[in-house]
A and B are shown apart, each in its own frame.
Chain A
């Protein structure tokens, strides 16, 4: 229940404004395409896991507008993202930045793949070179088997 005020505060923004409206778009189609691409990588802060491009929230619309303003003012894509990160932190980026703290995140898949590949290679060398001979026990079993099933 202690979360109720915060949930209430956040839910206020689940009321539909609407996702991108036709009038929001820039007339310059190249800038507009950049705006869409950037928007898809910016998190809607008051939604449950959406980008501002898809979201119906008020704040999402404000951020969409800001992105278009800054692009029209001549900012690069990176500068627009930095503008938002300065105000909201890395959380606003859906693509985690490549930093020391996120090194594990970005590298772990390939690190594990390489380790796995190496061990697979090592294991296969071992099995090729393993001696293939029967223990006395196995020899006895082989006899029994071939006796029952000629």
Chain B
């Protein structure tokens, strides 16, 4: 029965192991993984800014890798990630679409005029409902969609310079 006395140590060491793993991996335990990875784009139908056509799931699956960025003019970290988006917009094989989440069209317009517009087109999700369908729980969030229209990656929070490596490696893996 002596082994019974070892139960507390064993339980404790496993707890420490798990906690240590989290702390050392540098992962932020507060980031939620997306349920839409490897899933098709959810049903979407949004008006576009300064464009009579609409943004739909089909119009996003255009045979090219698309980066969809949910942003808002009232969102402070969105400003922090703008330079990275501008640099991504220069990549030839990548298409950028912005979705202004819970934002007034005129505010979104001035936001992009002030900071520059990296997006090929900008959609307006004024109620925020489409964002919820995409599993968005705050802005900014960025989705990477492959050429077939499947969501392959989600980045929660602003894309900071140190995140660019990760983004680039995802993009290169998705190249046909």
CA distance in complex: A44, B31 (Å): 14
Assess whether A45 is in contact with B160, with CB atoms less than 8 Å apart.
no
Assess whether B132 is in contact with A5, with CB atoms less than 8 Å apart.
no
Query: B139 on the interface (CB 8 Å rule)?
Result: yes
Main secondary structure of the interface of B (DSSP, over half): loop
A-B pair count, CB < 8 Å, reads 60
Residues of B within 8 A of A (CB-CB), count: 28
Q: B32 is contacted by which of A2, A12, A45 (Cβ under 8 Å)? A: A45
Stretch at the interface among B15-23, B74-82, B90-98, B164-172: B74-82
CA distance in complex: A3, B27 (Å): 10
Residues of A within 8 A of B75 (CB): 9, 12
Query: A62 on the interface (CB 8 Å rule)?
Result: yes
Residues of B within 8 A of A13 (CB): 138
Chain A, residues 78-100, CB within 8 Å of chain B (1/0): the string is 00000001111101000000000
Closest partner residue, chain A, to B39 (CB atom): A86
Residues of A within 8 A of B (CB-CB), count: 22
Main secondary structure of the interface of A (DSSP, over half): helix
Apart from A87-B135, A89-B35, what are 5 other A-B pairs with CB-CB below 8 Å?
Answer: A8-B76, A9-B77, A45-B137, A59-B137, A91-B32
Q: A interface vs B, CB < 8 Å?
A: 2-3, 5-6, 8-10, 12-13, 45-46, 58-59, 62-63, 66, 85-89, 91
Q: B interface vs A, CB < 8 Å?
A: 26, 28, 30-33, 35, 75-77, 80-81, 102, 128-129, 132-135, 137-140, 156-158, 160, 162
